[in-house]
Amino acid sequence: MEFAITKVEERSQIGPVGIGPKAGSGEVFVVVRYTIKNIGKEPIDRWDFPKVELINGEEVTLAKDTEATALEGALKSDSHGTGDLNPKVTATETSVWKVEKASFDRDTWQLKASFDSAVAAAVTWPMEPNVEAPILFSLK
């Protein structure tokens, strides 16, 4: 499996105006897009996909906004569906968190990708091979 963060953006609204959730006063949605490619010879079980978490500057793991994550994934046509990922196929995923805008800082906040131990041994990090999971990604 190959894992890569492709985009991190701040948004005040998820989805079309009047339909999707809006960030409240002093809040922002942090939207993260990433890809997972099966570089192996066997399908990858959907449950073996990485767990992606947002860690703030105080090293607190923040809760995803499940409604915003589901809507943004549907609108961006996330390609994984609910099944396994076949060899040589790439899936796109989206995760969304609603956070306090004043405290969000790309310089100190990070993304953490983790896998169960059996999967971690077979993961390739495109920019940093030979790094063991979980791995922290900068938001810069």
Q: CA–CA separation, 133 vs 121, rounded Å?
A: 8
Give the pLDDT score at 106.
92
Give the pLDDT score at 113.
85
The list of the chain residues with pLDDT below 70 reads 77-82, 116-135
pTM of the model: 0.83
Q: Which domain holds residue 45?
A: 2-138
Nearest alpha carbon to residue 68 among 106, 105, 29: 29
Give the pLDDT score at 16.
81
* CATH number, domain containing residue 125: 2.60.40.1240
Give the pLDDT score at 128.
53
Tally of structural domains, the chain: 1
Largest CA distance in the chain: 48
Q: CA–CA separation, 73 vs 57, rounded Å?
A: 26
